[in-house]
Amino acid sequence: MKKRTPLIPLLLALVLALLLPTTALAADAASLDDSDMVLYASSDSIPADASLLGQVAAAYDGSAVTDLAGLLSAGEIETLNEKLAAVRGSYGITAAVVTVDSMNDYFYAQDAADDIYDYIINADGDRPDGILFFITMGERKWHISTVGAGIRIFTDAGLEYMEDNFIDDLRDGDYYGAFDAYASLCASFSAQAASGAPYDADNLPKTPMSPVWFAVAVGIGLLIGTLIMTYYKSQLKTVRMQQSAHNYIRNGSMAITGSRDVFLYSHVNRVAKPKESGSPGGSGTHSGSSGASHGGRGGSF
């Protein structure tokens, strides 16, 4: 994970906190209405201009996928919505995807993702546990933000594992593939966490076994087969020269007349033990502008 100077997000959060009272108020006001109304209420109160939150809020309809960048077909959105809704249905974890063309007034994808979750998806406060996959095409950045129980379910190591699974698709422009992998992983991570032991540094899902292992196994098989056949072959060969004459040693004739064991020297070889490099596991967190605690991971593609 990339190191960030903690000061910068803090400063930005401060600036945002000053800039955003309108959005926050609008979201607060909207929370009184039912979710369908949020769309219109917030789009009314926020000018649908350059503000990222305004754009997302205008497009957000309560479903899991908000594809402002237009990366997905309607059918793909429907499939993803179903998959992600199932995660919420089964585990109470809100799993969402938001794509935008540009972050506009945001500089960091982390802040954008955190705020989208806090001020739009969880505007009503009824979705305290969740995960958001945010990508912005203009900056070619992605960020996954986790909240509440999501922080526990999607550990730092777990998110790194997720990245490994979708980053290639993301880079290749197969956005549906990336989101589909994300949706599947959301389900399997939630299921794993429900069993009591979330995927973490020492407990990651297994990657498929490398074919090298099968080659080695087959090689060992060939070796065992050859050894067995060597045994059967040896049954046919019984004629060989004797190596020794031990059958003919005269009983009790062996006598040691001189015996000396002289110590010459010794040396000690010292090898440093390999250091244990255990990963601490768990999730690091930071606070967003709303004051909610977030975990997450992000990068470029």
Partner 1 sequence: MADLLEYKCPCCGGAINFDSATQKMKCPYCDTEFDPAALMSRDEVLKQPQKDHIHWDTQTQSVWSEDEKAELRSYICRSCGGEIIGDAQTAAASCPYCGNPVVMTGQFSGDLRPDYVIPFKLDKKAAKEKYDAFIQGKKLLPKIFKDQNHIDEIKGVYVPFWLFDADVDANIQYEATRTRVWSDRDYDYTETSYFMVDRAGRIAFDRVPVDGSSKMPDDLMESIEPFDFNDAVDFQTAYLAGYLADKFDVGSEQSVSRANARIKTSAEAAFADTVTGYNAVLPKSGNINVQNGKAKYALYPVWLLNTTWNGKQYTFAMNGQTGKFVGDLPMDKGAYWKWWALYSGVAGAVCAGLTAILYFR
The residues binding partner 1 (CB under 8 A) are 206, 209, 213-214, 216-222, 224-226, 228-229, 232-233, 235-250, 253-273
Least distance from C-beta 239 to partner 1, angstroms?
Answer: 5
Least distance from C-beta 48 to partner 1, angstroms?
Answer: 51
Sheet holding 65-67, edge to edge: 65-67, 94-100, 130-136, 141-147, 293-300, 286-287
Nearer to partner 1 by Cβ, of 89 and 263: the residue is 263
Nearer to partner 1 by Cβ, of 47 and 225: the residue is 225
Nearer to partner 1 by Cβ, of 140 and 233: the residue is 233
Least distance from C-beta 211 to partner 1, angstroms?
Answer: 11
The DSSP code sequence of 22-67 is HHHHHHHHHTTS-HHHHHHHHHHHS-SSS-HHHHHHHH--SSSEEE
Give the angle 251-255-257 at the CA atoms, nearest 5°.
175
Nearer to partner 1 by Cβ, of 89 and 232: the residue is 232
Least distance from C-beta 149 to partner 1, angstroms?
Answer: 27
CA atoms within 13 A on the CB side of 156: 11
Nearer to partner 1 by Cβ, of 2 and 260: the residue is 260
**149, 89 contact by CB (below 8 A):** no
Pair type for strands 65-67 and 94-100:
parallel
Kindly report the number of other CB atoms within 10 A of residue 22's CB atom. Answer: 14
Least distance from C-beta 219 to partner 1, angstroms?
Answer: 8
Collapsing DSSP to helix, strand or coil, 70 comes out as coil
Q: Quick one: which H or E segment has residue 215?
A: helix 211-235
